[in-house]
Structure 1
Amino acid sequence: MGENNSQTINFHFLNIIKNSIRNYKFILLFTLAVTIFAYIITYIIPHKYECQATLLPPEEAGPSNLAEFLKSFSNLPTVFGGTSRTKIQLYYEMLKSKELARYIAAKPEIKNFSLFKNLDSTKLVKTIYKSIDIELRQSGLFIISATTSTGFFPSAQKKKEAAIASAQIAKLAIQSLDSLVRTRISTRSKRKIVLIEKLLAEKRHQLDWIEKEIENFQTKNKIIALDEQSKAILSTAINIGSELAKSEIELALYQSEYEPNSPVIQALRDKIQKLREQYNKVQSGGLTGTEAFSIPLEKMPSLLRIYMNLLREQKVLEQVSIFLETQKYSETIQEQTEIPGVDILDSPTIPSKPYSPNRVLITFFTFLFSLVFSVVLVNIREWKLANNKKREA
């Protein structure tokens, strides 16, 4: 039974070969005609050009002065390790945004291309947005691909223009990303500086007032110095009060950058609460209330207590003002010198040939499929003719 099946298969295969040889002219003409037609079509359909550029992941900047200050005054959890990953995600979202497409569409270099001259601003932004593809690799590298297409029956000039346009879009995408990043960081720094200047003006006004009060108090009550115990309590109160005031300023600054429930904000609130408790304890008789040489401020003579309060407020305000001045200059320097730029690994270059249509592949597969189709067509026709002869016989 198996031998009969094998003989039948061989018989059919031989028939296919014989029929194909008998009709080789038709098969050859059909295959060549379809292949030539497909080859000609590749010159008619739109040609697509793709330009790629590679960007390095953004560098992870060292901890800012704010971070160093917080670390020096408390055991805050380190949450800055994810900064690099956050920046990578931010860059990716910027590259995928329509705002970037608007930046590119507004450039005169784009409007000069005849490919985009008949498009209004809305359609131009949409076209550019669709032409850009972003790939984010696991290593953090960004692959920017810009694709442009000619119309039907493209001339050599149109092809050249499309190739140049793809490279120009990729180049402008990098420039626009750099501009967006710099604008965002500069705006954030300016907001910080405005807030610091506002706080600094308030503290200076308070310091001027307290200095006048101390001068009037000393003149009126002839108080010049304090005993050693009072100085020790005053020093402790000043240190804790300074830390408390600085922490409250840090909280105000960070609230403009982090969510209310973020670990940094929560840690700062816990720190402020502890400092405030310590501050209250110092004023009521030391940190523990059991110090042998501690003198509660409320038990001091009325004049002495008032004088100490004035001095304490003066010292706290002086330290806070110094801190704010330092922070203001630090933010100004960072705004001018530490704005990260976009690092390019592979610059965009004008593609030398279109990536679509692939003339070689189209011609090869068209030849292959048309050959198979013509062989099948010939054998179906021969099979029908053979069946008709059998019926007539």
Structure 2
Amino acid sequence: MENMHEEQEIDLLTLWKILLKRRRFLFLTVGAVFISSVIFSFSLPNVYEATISLLQPQETSAAEKLIASQIPSGLVGLAGGALGMKSQTNRWMGILNSRTVFDQIITRFDLQTVYDKETVTETRLQLEKAVHFHKSREGILSISLEDQDPERAAAMANAFVEVLDKINREIVMTSGGRTRAFIEGRLEEAKTALEQSEEALKVFQEKNGAVKLDAQSEAMIDAMGAIQGKLLSKEVALKTLLSYATPQNPQVTLLKTEITALKRALLTLERGNDKTENTSNGLFIPTNRLPDLGLQYLRLLRDVKIDETLYGLLTEQYEIARIQEAKDSSTVQVLDFAIIPEKPVKPKKQLIVISATMLAGLLAFFGAFFLEYLETAKINAQTKEQFEKTKIDLIRKKWRH
């Protein structure tokens, strides 16, 4: 144990002797790197970062509200996930990363000259490195932009939102306008159909006089009108959804299923159950079992009721579409605008100097021992050479004597 302790003391003593011997090399190396790193870090251009924050989109478009109104209440949450905020946020991210947005920013700030690039493609790649998009767990969308000019950094970050709002507004207003125009066309058709059915009923009554229906027939007319109104309303929602969604969309499948069920219910009221002649199992007498005159009057009255119901529903949906189209004019809500940053985020001067100095110290430490090794090896070689020379001289003297 004592021998081992003495060996450790000798090794440490040797270590300190070598470091003291090479202290000039150590100080010069570390000092030179320290000064060089300071000069280098201060020669780098300052880079500033500006950030703008957006609230997650809350409002749905006119088309989405129309479709949501036709979905059962138990599935509204599912519909919101498919048609609402998640898709809106993803659409915003897609717009922000698009070539259209980048090119507008490049043109507005003349970034090809600022970045000193030969082509727009190279400028676009440089801009992609400078801008960062981030969506927090709370739903806040942040746009951060780095630039050597703090004022330009803030202006460019805000410009990204301006371009996003412009493009998104065009998309939403186009979608809302298309929905409104589609419903408006159906509304005109329903109005014309209502006028024609009312005129046909009027002509029938003038020709045949008043026809009295029992309470069950009147109830059947009301039921058929309600079903037909719901059917046509859901068909409008389906056509609107198919204008931008694929047939595989779960909401498309849901609406198709409901339309099929409504058609089946309407067919049952019109034709009855073919499997039995007993009407006690049903609520209403099928229309195909009424007298001819009563059947004609029933159908005319039914058409009027259906057209009235459809016209009322389309009028309501048309007003909703118009209101939503006007509200969609503002699509982006800014939480915090980008302001001119006061301090640069790059370069990390202290980190550069400290890291370079520590690395230089480590390399100088090993370099000192390497130099000592070379010197020792050289001395050993010279000693060996001198020993060999002395040995040869002794041998020669011996042979002479």
- TM superposition score normalised by structure 1: 0.83
Cα distance in 2 for residues equivalent to 1:125 and 1:236? 62
Going from structure 1 to structure 2, the CA distance change for 1:41 and 1:209 (only over 3 Å counts) comes to same
Matched residue SS, 1:51: strand
Give a deviation string over 1:337-367, Cα, whole Å, max 9, x none.
Answer: 2566433344322233332221111112222
Matches within 5 A, 1:133-144: 133-144=132-143
Matched residue SS, 1:79: helix
In the alignment, structure 1 residue 375 sits paired with structure 2 residue 395 = no
* Structure 1 match to 2:181: 194
Q: Which amino acid aligns with 1:86?
A: S
Aligned match of 1:328 in 298, 303, 318?
Answer: 318
Q: Post-superposition shift, 1:320?
A: 0.9
Matches within 5 A, 1:51-90: 51-59=50-58, 64=65, 66-71=67-72, 78-82=77-81, 83-90=84-91
Give a deviation string over 1:110-155, Cα, whole Å, max 9, x none.
Answer: 138962576655544443233211122223222322122xxxxxxx
Give a deviation string over 1:157-199, Cα, whole Å, max 9, x none.
Answer: xx5xx22222222111222222333222222111111211221
* Structure 2 match to 1:313: 303
Aligned match of 2:247 in 240, 260, 265?
Answer: 260
Q: Post-superposition shift, 1:32?
A: 1.7
In the alignment, structure 1 residue 280 sits paired with structure 2 residue 279 = no
Matched residue SS, 1:348: coil
The 8 Å contact of residues 31 and 367 in structure 1, kept in 2 or not, is answered as yes
Give a deviation string over 1:178-227, Cα, whole Å, max 9, x none.
Answer: 23332222221111112112212222232232233223222233345434
Cα distance in 1 for residues equivalent to 2:65 and 2:174? 17
The 8 Å contact of residues 55 and 141 in structure 1, kept in 2 or not, is answered as yes
Which stretches in structure 1 are left out of the alignment for 5+ residues? 149-158
Going from structure 1 to structure 2, the CA distance change for 1:77 and 1:41 (only over 3 Å counts) comes to closer
The 8 Å contact of residues 51 and 144 in structure 2, kept in 1 or not, is answered as yes
Q: Post-superposition shift, 1:265?
A: 2.0
* Structure 2 match to 1:153: none
Give a deviation string over 1:75-105, Cα, whole Å, max 9, x none.
Answer: 6564234233333333333333333323423
Aligned match of 1:366 in 341, 356, 366?
Answer: 356
Aligned match of 1:344 in 328, 334, 338?
Answer: 334
- TM superposition score normalised by structure 2: 0.82
Going from structure 1 to structure 2, the CA distance change for 1:69 and 1:391 (only over 3 Å counts) comes to closer
Matched residue SS, 2:114: coil
Cα distance in 1 for residues equivalent to 2:165 and 2:118? 26
Cα distance in 2 for residues equivalent to 1:38 and 1:214? 96
Give a deviation string over 1:43-100, Cα, whole Å, max 9, x none.
Answer: 334443322333333336699354235437xx65642342333333333333333333
Cα distance in 1 for residues equivalent to 2:240 and 2:262? 18
The 8 Å contact of residues 98 and 129 in structure 1, kept in 2 or not, is answered as no
Matched residue SS, 2:245: coil
Which stretches in structure 2 are left out of the alignment for 5+ residues? 384-401
Q: Which amino acid aligns with 2:146?
A: T
Aligned match of 1:222 in 200, 206, 209?
Answer: 209
Cα distance in 2 for residues equivalent to 1:392 and 1:5? 32
The 8 Å contact of residues 51 and 351 in structure 1, kept in 2 or not, is answered as yes
In the alignment, structure 1 residue 26 sits paired with structure 2 residue 25 = yes
Going from structure 1 to structure 2, the CA distance change for 1:118 and 1:274 (only over 3 Å counts) comes to closer
Per mean C-alpha deviation after superposition, the further-off stretch among 113-122 and 278-287 is 113-122
Going from structure 1 to structure 2, the CA distance change for 1:70 and 1:136 (only over 3 Å counts) comes to closer
Matched residue SS, 1:50: strand
Per mean C-alpha deviation after superposition, the further-off stretch among 268-277 and 286-295 is 286-295
Cα distance in 1 for residues equivalent to 2:283 and 2:72? 32
Q: Which amino acid aligns with 1:199?
A: R
The 8 Å contact of residues 79 and 264 in structure 1, kept in 2 or not, is answered as no
Q: Which amino acid aligns with 1:91?
A: W
In the alignment, structure 1 residue 357 sits paired with structure 2 residue 347 = yes
* Structure 2 match to 1:250: 237
Per mean C-alpha deviation after superposition, the further-off stretch among 120-129 and 232-241 is 120-129
